[in-house]
């Protein structure tokens, strides 16, 4: 009798659980729909439009790379190989998930997250690699980074860009991710802040654990602010779009030095030190109808600092780094 009562209660609970599950997805769909409608209601539809479909599937190929030069307290010249990743993505009303796989035997880990809104946009990138070539000459560390010793050096970079576009008729999303439709050509002034951290981790050949990362760690940090301009050019019966934007920035905070045994040792900058950075974005895409599109976009971040200008200190010291990312995507909406 107890078993019969248990089965009856279980059968009665299943529809309720299914209703709760259906209610969750229905509430999520209503929330995303209302958010999209609210955003679209404030948009000048003469210049910017949205796709009528709620699902977006795409194939993409993303390539990343970096280059770094430092002559503070030594001479470091390193570059990573091109890390290529292919993947698929699926999004529903702007909420999506991407899955990618690295090609070849590149020892690199990349994480990128970006969102481009009507006014506010952000780009977050993380890269950890020991696939490096070049040379290192510093106190206690000297020689070339060869293939058989490449595991002894790691380079980790973190970067965040925050962007604000003043003209809502200009769409970063249409140019960089094809999430909107740029119907007419438009441009906008852009304000930006940027934060970046670079860490170079030197390990002994016999030490490959995370604890040894702090044995000798060269770090560089900077915070920059700036302003620039971007433009979306629409042509070819509104099927083609070419985007270009440039945002030069002035570095208002900068620090570099060594971290040994968990303790930071900052290196002071000489008189006349100047630091600057900037970011550039280009993109081109073609769409036919409201379902298919193909696009190529790229983001390049450049930073540099030196004591060359107005310096009374002998010798030329500088730090320069460049990171880039290029994405080729093919999208289908339904």
What are the tens digits of pLDDT across the range 102-144? 777 566 777 888 888 888 998 888 888 877 777 776 655 555 4
Cα 209 off chain centre by: 27
Residue 108's closest CA among 260, 323, 304? 323
**Helices in 99-196 by DSSP H: which ranges?**
172-176
CA–CA distance, 194 with 276 (Å, rounded to integer): 11
Q: Are residue 75 and residue 15 in the same domain, yes or no?
A: no
Q: Are residue 33 and residue 56 in the same domain, yes or no?
A: no
Q: Are residue 86 and residue 30 in the same domain, yes or no?
A: no
Contacts 24+ apart (CB under 8 A), 80-87: 80/108, 80/127, 80/129, 80/131, 80/132, 80/133, 80/155, 81/106, 81/108, 81/131, 81/133, 83/108, 83/110, 83/129, 83/131, 85/61, 85/110, 86/59, 86/60, 86/61, 86/62, 87/59, 87/60, 87/62
Q: Burial letters for 85-100: b for 16+ Cβ neighbours within 10 Å, e otherwise?
A: beeebebebeeeeeeb
- CATH number, domain containing residue 244: 2.40.128
Q: Are residue 29 and residue 64 in the same domain, yes or no?
A: no
> Is the full-model pTM beyond 0.85?
no
Q: Are residue 158 and residue 259 in the same domain, yes or no?
A: yes
Domain count, the chain: 2
Residue 239 confidence (pLDDT) above 50: yes
Q: Are residue 216 and residue 151 in the same domain, yes or no?
A: yes
User: What residues make up the domain containing 10?
Assistant: 1-41
Residue 209 confidence (pLDDT) above 90: no
Q: Are residue 62 and residue 36 in the same domain, yes or no?
A: no
Q: Are residue 114 and residue 262 in the same domain, yes or no?
A: yes
Q: Are residue 75 and residue 27 in the same domain, yes or no?
A: no
Q: Are residue 53 and residue 36 in the same domain, yes or no?
A: no
First to last CA, the chain: 52
Question: Residue 120 has which token pair?
Answer: 């506010």
Longest dimension (CA), the chain: 95
Q: Are residue 34 and residue 153 in the same domain, yes or no?
A: no
Tens digit of pLDDT for each residue in 46-97?
899 888 888 889 999 999 888 888 776 667 788 887 888 898 888 887 777 7
Q: Are residue 25 and residue 155 in the same domain, yes or no?
A: no
pLDDT more than 70, % of the chain: 67
The DSSP-derived string for 209-236 is: SGGGGGSSEEEEEEEEEEEEEEEEEEET
Instruction: Find where tokens 């040894």 sit.
Output: 212
């Amino acid at each position: 009798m107890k078993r019969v009562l248990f089965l009856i209660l279980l059968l009665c609970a299943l529809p309720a659980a299914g209703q709760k599950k259906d209610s969750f997805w229905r509430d999520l769909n209503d929330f995303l729909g209302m958010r999209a409608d609210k955003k679209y209601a404030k948009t000048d539809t003469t210049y910017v439009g949205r796709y009528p479909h709620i699902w977006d599937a795409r194939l993409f190929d993303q390539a990343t790379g970096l280059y770094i030069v430092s002559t503070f307290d030594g001479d470091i010249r390193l570059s990573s190989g091109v890390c290529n990743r292919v993947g698929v993505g699926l999004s529903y009303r702007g909420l999506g998930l991407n899955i990618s796989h690295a090609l070849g035997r590149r020892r690199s880990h990349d994480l990128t997250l970006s969102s481009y809104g009507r006014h506010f946009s952000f780009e977050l990138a993380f890269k950890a690699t020991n696939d490096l070539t070049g040379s290192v000459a510093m106190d206690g560390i000297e020689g070339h980074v060869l293939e058989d010793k490449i595991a002894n050096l790691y380079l980790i970079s973190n970067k965040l860009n925050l962007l604000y576009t003043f003209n809502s008729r200009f769409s970063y999303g249409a140019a960089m991710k094809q999430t909107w439709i740029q119907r007419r050509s438009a441009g906008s002034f852009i304000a930006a802040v940027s934060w970046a951290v670079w860490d170079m981790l030197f390990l002994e050949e016999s030490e490959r654990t995370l604890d040894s990362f702090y044995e000798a760690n060269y770090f560089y940090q900077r915070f920059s602010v700036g302003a620039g301009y971007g433009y979306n050019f629409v042509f070819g019966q509104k099927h083609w779009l070419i985007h270009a934007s440039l945002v030069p920035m002035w570095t208002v905070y900068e620090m570099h030095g060594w971290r040994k045994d968990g303790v930071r040792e900052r290196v002071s900058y000489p008189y006349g030190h100047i630091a600057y950075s900037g970011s550039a974005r280009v993109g081109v895409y073609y769409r036919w109808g409201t379902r298919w599109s193909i696009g190529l976009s790229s983001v390049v971040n450049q930073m540099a600092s030196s004591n060359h200008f107005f310096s009374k200190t002998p010798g030329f010291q500088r730090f320069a780094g460049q990171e880039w990312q290029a994405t080729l995507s093919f999208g289908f909406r339904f």
